[in-house]
Amino acid sequence: MSTRKRSLNKEIVNHAVKEAFIKLDPRIMIRNPIMFVVEVGFVITLFLIFVPNAFGTAVSAGFNIAVALILLFTVLFANFAEALAEGRGKAQADSLKQTKKEISANKVSGNTVKQVPSTDLRKGDIVIVSQGEMIPGDGEVIEGLASVDESAITGESAPVIKEAGGDFSSVTGGTRVISDQIKVRISSDPGESFLDRMISLVEGASRQKTPNEIALNTVLVSLTIIFLIVVITLPFFADYLNIQLAVPVLVALLVCLIPTTIGGLLSAIGIAGMDRVTQFNVLAMSGKAVEASGDINTIILDKTGTITYGNRMASELVPVGTHELKEVSEWVAVSSIHDETPEGRSVLELLKKQGFEFDASVADGAEFIEFKAETRMSGMDLKDGRKVRKGAVDAVKQWVESQGGIIPDNLNQNRDAIASAGGTPLAVAVDKTIYGLIYLKDTVKPGMRERFDQMRKMGIKTIMCTGDNPLTAATIAREAGVDDYIAESKPEDKIAVIRREQAEGKLVAMTGDGTNDAPALAQADVGIAMNSGTVAAKEAANMVDLDSDPSKIIEVVAIGKQLLMTRGALTTFSIANDIAKYFAIIPAMFMLAIPGMEALNIMKLHSPMSAILSALIFNAIIIPLLIPLAMKGVAYKPMSSSQLLSRNLLIYGLGGVVVPFIGIKVIDLIVQLWV
Amino acid sequence: MTAISLISIALTLLLAFLLARPAGLYIAYAFHNEGTRLDRWFGPLEKLIFSIGGIRRNNQNWKQYAASVVLSNTVMIILVYLILRFQGVLPLNPSGVASMEPTTAFHTAISFMTNTDQQHYSGEIGLSYFSQMIAIVFMMFTAPASLLAVAIAFIRGLAGKPLGNFFVDMIRGITRILLPVALVMAVIFIALGVPQTLEPTAVVNTLEGAKQEIARGPVGSFLSIKEFGNNGGGFFGMNSAHPFENPGGFSNFLQILLMLLLPAALPFTYGKMVGNKKQGRVLFVSMAMLLIVLLGISLASENAGNPAINALGIQHQQGSMEGKEVRFGAAQSSFYSVVTTATETGAVNTMHDSLTPIGGLVALGNMMLNTVFGGVGAGFINVLMYAMVAVFLSGLMVGRTPEFLGKKIEGKEMKLIAITLIISPLLVLVPTALALYTNADTISNPGFHGLTQVLYEYTSAAANNGSGFEGLGDATPFWNITTGIVMFLGRYFSVITMLAIAGSLAAKKPVPETSGTFRTDNVVFAGVFLVTVLIVGALTFFPAVALGPIAEHLTLKP
C-alpha cells in the first residue's frame, strides 16, 4: 500500500509543469472549450502586442502585454492542474509497469512443457508455475495449491492461498508463487490482462467523460456561449454611445466571465476522484461507476466477513445445575488452553476480558483431543485421568450420559435460550458432570452500527444477506442496525433483491467474490468484487477491491458523493465570482466616458487599468489555489441533503461572492504600485 | 405617494394571491383527462368543436404535441396575415381603414399569435372592426390557450403521465377557462363605461367649433381577454391609458387582477397535478417575493421622481408624473407597469418611456428574467426550467445526480436547457446590437435612454411581453421583420425544447425519495431557485443595462 500511496513529489510537479506547456497545443486545448476560449484570447492579445492598431482602438503596450501574460498563465495553470492529477496516476502506473516485465512461462502443450515468453500466451493456454516463479498472466488454478505473494497488486505482504476449484482459484499475472506448484489456465490475451487494464485506468488513458461530467460541461459551455454573446455585442452598444472599447479589455472581460475556474479544474477533479478510489485500493473500471456509487440507494452486504467477523466468538458463560460461574470459567479455560480454533481463542479472550483467573497448571502434561466431525467435541485428557470435553450440547450430553452422569435440569432450557437468541451453545463437561454452556455468538464488527446509521442519514438502505436461519439473521440484523435482511439466502436471492430494488428505480450496490455472485454483481449498478474472488466475479463487477475488504463499499459511496460535490462546489464558486468581477470591470470600462459609473466601483479600485488587471489576475491565480481542493475533494460528512446543501451553499456560494471582492481589492493594492 | 395608494396596492396583491389557489386548482381540474363533472357543462360544446375539427383526442408524444403547437399556430399566423392584408375590402370596416402594409401585417400576425401583442400600428386607425374582432380577438384566445396547453403538457410530463393532446387541451383552455371569465369580465367592463359598439368613429363639433374624431368600437369584449390572456395589445394606440380602455380606478384594479390571475394560479395547478402541493407553494412564494421586491424598487423610484426635474423646483409630492395618467397617479401607474411586465401581458396605462430609469429597469428586468410569474404558461415553463438548473447545481452540491420530482436530470435534459438558456441573450442582445449599429436614426432620444428603447423593444419581443418603451420609430420594415423573427423564435424555440424535456422526463422511471434526496419543496430550495434566476439573469444582461438605465440613472444629476 505504502508504495502506491504517493503524494505530490518533486518529480510529479516537474513533469506537470512540462505537460502544462505541451498541452497548449490547440489540438489538445479544444477538448476543453472553456480554456480554449482563453487560449484564443491569449493569441489575439499576443497579436495585438505586435500590431497594436489591428482592431481599431489601441491600449498601452504594457497593458496589452500584461493581459496576454495573465491569459497565458491562466491556461498554463489549468493545464498544470490536469497534468498534476494525471501525474499522480502515472506514478502509480509506473510502479505497476515494473511488475509487468517480460516473464518466461512454462507452457504445457500436449505432454511437453515449453518455455515461451508471457507475451505469446493466449486465452486458454495452460502453464505450470513453480515456487519462486512469477505467474505469467491472469488465469485460474486448475490443479494444485500454492501460496502466492500478491503484494505487487494489493500492497498486502501476507501471501494468499490459491487452489484449484472453489472461490480462491483466480490468480493475477505479475504475482509470485512462493511455495508449491500450480497449473494455471490463462484467461486473458496479452494487453487485456487485469494488470494492463489497471495500468491504463490509473494512467487515465482510458478515461471517458462521465454522464454527469458531460451534463456539467454542457452547462459550462452554454454559459461560455452566453458570455461570448454578451461580450461580442457590447462594443456595438458602446459604439452607439461613442465609447470605444479596446479589444484587450473585451478579452479580459470575457475571460473573467466565462467559468474558467471550474473549466480549468474539471478534468483534474474527475481524475483525482478516480485516484482517490485507487488510493483506497479499489480499482474502478470507469469513472461512471464511481459517480454511480454516489447515487446508491441500496447496498446489499454479505453478513459474513462484511458485517460480522464470520467466526463465532464466545460472548458469555452460562452455568447449569448448581455450578458457580467461577467453576465454569475454570473448566472452560482448561478445555480451551490448547484449542487453536477461533472459537477456542475467543473463549480465552472472553475470560481475560471479564477478569477470570484460572490455574493453567491443571492442564500441564495433558493431552489435547482435537475436534472431529464424528465426535463434535474437543477437549483435554488430564494427567490425573480426568477428561474435559467441550462441544455441541447434544454430543456432550451423550458423552456424559454414556458415563452414567446426570444431566442438569436447566441445561435444555439454557441451550434453547441461547439458540433462540441466534447464538450457538457449547457445553463443557468434566467426566460425569456438565458445568455449563459457552454462548458463541457471531460478533458484529465494531463501528458497523455507526456506519449503518450514517448511511441511513445519507438515505441509503442496507440489506444483509446471510445463509443463517431467520432467527440468527434477525439477531445480527438488529445488532448491526441494518434496515433489512434476507435469511437462508441463496445466490439467486441476491439477484431477485437487486431486481426488486431496481424496479423501484433504486440504484443498488453489492459486494461479492464467488463465481455464483457474478450474475448479481453484473446486475447491480455498482458491483464490487473482492480481489481474492474468482475471475468471473471480477469480470462481472465494475470495481475490484484489491484488499478484499467488503465493507469498503461505504468509503466508495462517500468518494462518489465527494466527486460530485467538488464539481458542484467549484461550479457555484466560479459562477458566484462573476458578480465581483463585473463590479471591477464594468465601471473600469466606462468610467472615463461616463464618470457617473464611478458609483459602481464599490471596491474603490485604483484605476480602470488596475481594476481590469486585478480581476484578471484573481481569475488566474484562483485556479492553482484551488488545485488542492480539487485533488482532495470537498469535505464530506454524512448528513441530510438539506443540511449539506445549506452548508456548501454558505461556503462555496456565499464564499464565492465574497472572496473575489476581497481578493481583487488586495491584488489592486499591489498592482496600483505599477500602473 | 399616499398611504391610501399603498394600501390599495397591497389589497390588490392580497386579493390576487388569495384567488391564485382556487383558480389553480380549477385549472388542474379543467385539464383532468379522466372525466370530471365539468364535462357535463362543457362536454357538448367541446364535442361539437372536436367533431368539426376532426380531432381524435389521442395522446400525443412530445414531437407530435410540439408539431401541433407550431403548425397550428403558423396556420393561424398565415390566416391573420391574410385578413390584415385585405381588411380594407373585407366587411365590418365602417371607418374605412386601409389594408395593412406587408411587413406590419407580418409583425402583427406573429405578435398576436405569440401572445406578445407588440404593436407597430395604432389600433384605432390601423385595424378595421373585422380585424379587431376576427383576427386579433381570435388570436387573443388561441395564443394564451396554446401556451397554457403546453404548460399543462409539460407538467403532465413531469408527473410522469402522457402529455395529452394539444388540440383537446387548447380547446378546453378556451371553453373552460378563457371564454367564461372573459365573457363575465367584458360585461363588467362595459358596465364600467368601456364602449362596445360597431358604430364608426364618432365625429363631433367641439365647443370651439373644431371637428373632433372620437375613436370607438367593440372594446369591452376586447379588453377582458386582452388582460386575462396576458395578451396586452391595445384596442387603441394608447392601450389602457385611454379612458375608453381603462375608465378609472376600479377598471384599473380589475385589469391588474386579471393579469395576475392565470400566472399566479399555475404554480398551484402544478402542485396539484404533480402531487406535490408544497413544491407548487414554494415556487409561488418565490415568485411573489420577487414581484414584491421589484414592485418596491419601482414604487420608490417613481415616488422619488426625477432629480433633474425636482431640482427645477417643480412640485413632486405626487411622484414622477411625466407620461402618467392623472386618473391613476404615480403609484397605480408604477404598479401597473410592474405587473404588466412581470406577467408578460404588455398592456400599459402609462408611458414606460417616461418611467424613471430605475422604474424602467424594473420593467425591463421583469421581462429579462421572464420568471416573475411570467405570461400564461410560458412564464411558468421558464420557472420550471430555472428550477431544474437550480436542482442541477444543488444536486451536485450534495453529491447526487440531480433529481426533480423523482426524475433524474441528466445530460440530455441539461443540453436542452442549455440551448434554451442561450436563446434569450441571443434574441435580445444580437438584434439590439444590430439595430443600434444600423438603425440608430429611428431612436427618438439618443444616448443611454435611446439604448434602453432599443433594448426594451427586443426584450419585450423575445419575452413575448409586447409592451413598448415607445419613442422608437418602429413602424419600419427593419423593426417589423427583426422583432417579428425574435417574437417567433422567442416563443416556439423554447416550446419545442421544453416539450422535449417533458417527453424525456415522462419516460424516466421515478427514483424513490429517501432522506438523501435533495428536497425541492423547502425554503433552502426557494433560496437556491431565486439566486439562480437572479444570477443567470444579472450576469447575462448586466453590461447591457449598465449602459442603458443604470448609466442614465447615474448621470441624472440635479
SS (H, E, C) A309-321: EEEEEEEEEEECC
Q: What are the pLDDT digits (tens) for B225-238? A: 999 999 999 999 88
Q: Do B396 and A568 touch (CB under 8 A)?
A: yes
Is the four-CA dihedral A453, A456, A458, A464 of positive or negative sign? positive
**Chain A residues close to B451, C-beta within 8 Å:** 237, 240-241
Which cell numbers hold the place of A9?
513529489
Residue A458 and residue B515: Cβ atoms within 8 Å? Answer: yes
pLDDT digits (tens, 9 = 90+) for A144-197: 888 888 776 666 667 778 888 766 778 888 788 888 888 888 887 877 776 777
Residues of chain A with C-beta less than 8 angstroms from the C-beta of B395: 564, 568
Reduced to 3 states (helix: H, G, I; strand: E, B; else coil), residue B160 is coil
Same structural domain, B263 and B404? no
Q: Are A641 and B515 a contacting pair at CB < 8 A?
A: yes
Count how many domains chain B has: 2
How many Å apart are CA A432 and CA A386, to the nearest integer?
10
Report the distance separating Cα B467 and Cα A270, nearest Å: 48
**Which residue in this structure is represented by grid cell 443611454?**
B448
Distance (Å) from the C-alpha of residue B459 to the closest C-alpha of chain A? 14
Contact (Cβ atoms closer than 8 angstroms) between residue B17 and residue B257: no
Residue type, B542: F
Q: Provide the pLDDT for residue B350.
A: 93
List, as ranges, residues 206-225 from A with C-beta within 8 Å of B. 211-212, 214-216, 218-219, 221-222, 225
Under 8 Å between Cβ of A630 and A566: yes
Name every chain A residue with its beta carbon within 8 A of the beta carbon of B421: 222, 226
Name every residue whose Cβ is closer than 8 Å to that of residue B230 and which is 6 or more positions away in sequence: B115, B144, B259, B262, B263, B343, B344, B345, B346, B375, B376
Q: Are residues B191 and B318 in the same domain?
A: yes
Q: At what angle do helices A553-590 and A608-632 cross, to 10 degrees?
A: 180
Average pLDDT over residues A50-66: 84
**Looking at per-residue confidence, does B221 or A206 come out higher?**
B221
The whole-number pLDDT of residue A6 equals 46
3-state class of A161 per DSSP? strand
In a domain, B371, yes or no: no
A389-425 per-position pLDDT tens digit: 998 888 899 899 899 888 888 888 888 888 877 778 8
Summarised one tens digit per residue, pLDDT across range B439-450 is 888 888 889 999
Residue of B399, B426, B511 with shortest CB distance to A561: B399
Please tell me the distance in Å from A346's CA to the nearest CA on chain B: 39
- Altogether, the residues listed in chain A come to a count of 675
Q: What's the number of CA atoms in the CB half-sphere (13 Å) around residue B503?
A: 17
Cβ pair A573, A325 in contact under 8 A = no
CA B195 – CA B550 distance, rounded (Å): 41
Give the pLDDT score at B183: 96
Query: Strand pairing of B403-404 and A484-486?
Result: unpaired
How many other β-carbons are positioned within 10 Å of the β-carbon of residue B491? Answer: 27
**pLDDT grade for A441, boundaries at 50, 70 and 90:** confident
Q: How far apart are CA A141 and CA A160, in angstroms?
A: 13
- Interface contact B434, partner A, CB < 8 A: yes
A564 vs B396, B436, B544: nearest CB = B396
**Alpha carbon B184 to chain centroid, angstroms:** 21
Cell numbers given for A495: 439477484
Suggest the residue from B397, B414, B532 to mutate for an interface test with chain A (most A CBs closer than 10 A): B397
Residues of B (398-427) whose Cβ lies below 8 Å from A: 398-401, 406, 409-411, 413-415, 417-419, 421-422, 425-426
Residues of B in contact with A236 (CB under 8 A): 432-434, 436-437
What's the one-letter identity of residue A392? Answer: A
Of chain A residues 98-157, which have a CB less than 8 A from chain B?
Answer: none
Helix (H, G, I), strand (E, B) or coil at B204: strand
Nearest residue on chain A to B555, alpha-carbon basis: A596
What confidence score (pLDDT) does residue A201 get?
65
Cell of B393: 447545481
Is A663 a residue whose pLDDT tops 60?
yes
Q: Domain check: are B315 and B430 in the same one? A: no
B178 with B296, same domain? yes
Q: Which of A211, A222, A457 comes nearest B418 by C-beta?
A: A222
Q: Tell if the CB–CB gap between B531 and A652 is shorter than 8 Å.
A: no
**Statement: residue A7 has pLDDT above 60:** no
Smallest Cβ–Cβ distance between A237 and the set B409, B516, B547 belongs to B547
Marked catalytic residue, from A149, A196, A302, A525: A302
Shared domain for B188 and B253, answered yes or no, is: yes
Distance from CA of residue A74 to its chain's centroid? 31
Q: pLDDT-derived band of residue A4, with 50, 70 and 90 as boundaries?
A: very low
The answer to whether residue B20 sits within a structural domain is yes
Q: Are residues B310 and B241 in the same domain?
A: yes
Last residue of a domain, one of B366, B399, B418: B366
Q: How confident is the model at residue A2 (pLDDT cuts 50, 70, 90)?
A: very low
Same domain, B238 and B355: yes
Model confidence at A3, pLDDT cuts 50, 70, 90, reads: very low
Query: Which residue bears the cell 395608494?
Result: B5
- Nearest Cα of chain A lies from the Cα of B490 at a distance, in angstroms, of 16
Please say whether the beta carbons of A458 and A488 come within 8 A: no
Spell out the residues 6+ positions from residue B229 whose beta carbon is closer than 8 angstroms to its own: B115, B140, B141, B143, B144, B145, B178, B182, B262, B376
Among the partner residues B397, B415, B430, nearest to A649 by beta-carbon distance: B397
CA distance A604 to chain B (A): 17
Q: Which residues in chain B are contacts of A576 at CB distance < 8 A?
A: 535
- Within 8 A of A569 by CB-CB distance, chain B residues are 396-397
Q: How far is B44 from chain A (nearest CA, A)?
A: 42
Same domain, B341 and B451: no
For residue A100, the model assigns a pLDDT of: 64
Residue B374 is assigned to a structural domain of this protein: no
Taking the Cβ of residue B14 and every Cβ of chain A, the question of whether any pair is shorter than 8 Å is answered with: no
For residue A504, list chain B residues with Cβ-Cβ distance below 8 A: 512
Distance set, CA A277 to CA A270, A575, A632, B409 (Å): 11, 28, 11, 25
DSSP label of B241:
G
CB atoms within 10 A of CB B294: 20
How many inter-chain contacts (A to B, CB under 8 Å) are there? Answer: 207
- Examine residue B8 and state whether it is found in any structural domain, yes or no: yes
Please report, for residues B130, B136, B276, the alpha-carbon distance to residue B182 in angstroms, rounded to integers and kept in the order given. 19, 15, 30
Same-domain status, B457 and B508: yes
Average pLDDT over residues A481-488: 88
Per-residue pLDDT of A532-561, as tens digits, reads 777 777 778 888 888 777 778 878 888 888
CB contact under 8 A, B394 and A568: yes
Asked whether residue B411 falls in the same domain as residue B311, the answer is no
pLDDT mean over A101-116: 81
Contact yes or no for A229 and B516 at CB 8 A: no
| Pair (B339, B448) in one structural domain | no
Residue B121: inside a domain, yes or no? yes
Q: Do B524 and A568 touch (CB under 8 A)?
A: no
CB-neighbour burial class of residue B123 (10 A; exposed 0-12, middle 13-18, buried 19+): buried
- pLDDT means per 10 residues in chain B (558 residues)? 86 96 96 84 88 87 96 96 94 89 96 94 89 92 96 94 94 95 96 91 88 90 94 91 93 96 96 93 95 96 86 80 88 95 94 93 95 91 93 86 84 91 94 93 90 95 90 89 96 95 89 74 89 90 94 86
Task: Give B528 or A472, the one with higher predicted confidence.
Answer: B528
> Domain check: are B418 and B359 in the same one?
no
Nearest to B457 by CA among B119, B228, B106: B119
Chain center to CA of B424: 15
- Residue A66 scores a pLDDT above 90: yes
Q: Does residue B67 lie in a domain region? A: yes
Q: Is A565 on the interface with B (CB under 8 A)?
A: yes
Domain termination site, one of B366, B392, B427: B366
Write the residue in A241, A505, A636 that is nearest to B399 by C-beta.
Answer: A636
Q: Is residue A141 within a helix (H) or strand (E), and if so which, with residue range?
A: strand A139-149
CA A430 to chain centroid, in Å, comes to 52
Average pLDDT over residues A310-338: 84
| Residue B504 in domain | yes
Distance set, CA A168 to CA A135, A153, A159, A187, A648 (Å): 15, 16, 13, 15, 45
Task: Please indicate, yes or no, if residue B373 is contained in any of the structural domains.
Answer: no
Nearest to A230 among B425, B437, B510 (CB): B425
Which pLDDT value is given to residue A208?
Answer: 67
Q: Counting runs of H as helices and runs of E as strands, what totals does chain A give?
A: 23, 21
Chain B nearest-CA residue for A231: B543
End of a domain among B366, B398, B433?
B366
pTM of the predicted model, to two decimals? 0.84
Chain B (343-402) residues lying within 8 Å, Cβ to Cβ, of chain A? 389, 392-401
Residue A392 is predicted with a pLDDT of 87
Tell me the nearest-neighbour CA distance from B41 into chain A, angstroms. Answer: 40
B396/A565 CB distance under 8 A:
yes
Among B361, B396, B412, most A C-beta atoms within 10 A, so best to mutate, is: B396
Q: Is the CB of residue B399 less than 8 Å from the CB of residue B490?
A: no
CA distance B509 to B502: 13
Kindly determine whether residue A568 and residue B393, on different chains, have CB atoms separated by under 8 Å: yes
For residue A291, list chain B residues with Cβ-Cβ distance below 8 A: 401
CB atoms within 10 A of CB B486: 28
Is A302 an annotated catalytic residue? Answer: yes
Strands A543-545 and A526-530: parallel
Residues of chain A positioned with their CB less than 8 A from the CB of B399: 294, 560-565, 568, 636, 644
| pLDDT tens-digit readout, A215-238 | 899 999 999 999 999 999 999 999
Contact B197, B56 (CB under 8 A): no
pLDDT, residue A204, reads 60
Lowest mean pLDDT among A359-368, A603-612, A654-663: A359-368
The boundaries of the domain holding residue B466 are: 379-555
Interface of B with A in 255-314 (CB under 8 A): none
- Give the span between the Cα atoms of A478 and A134, in whole angstroms: 46
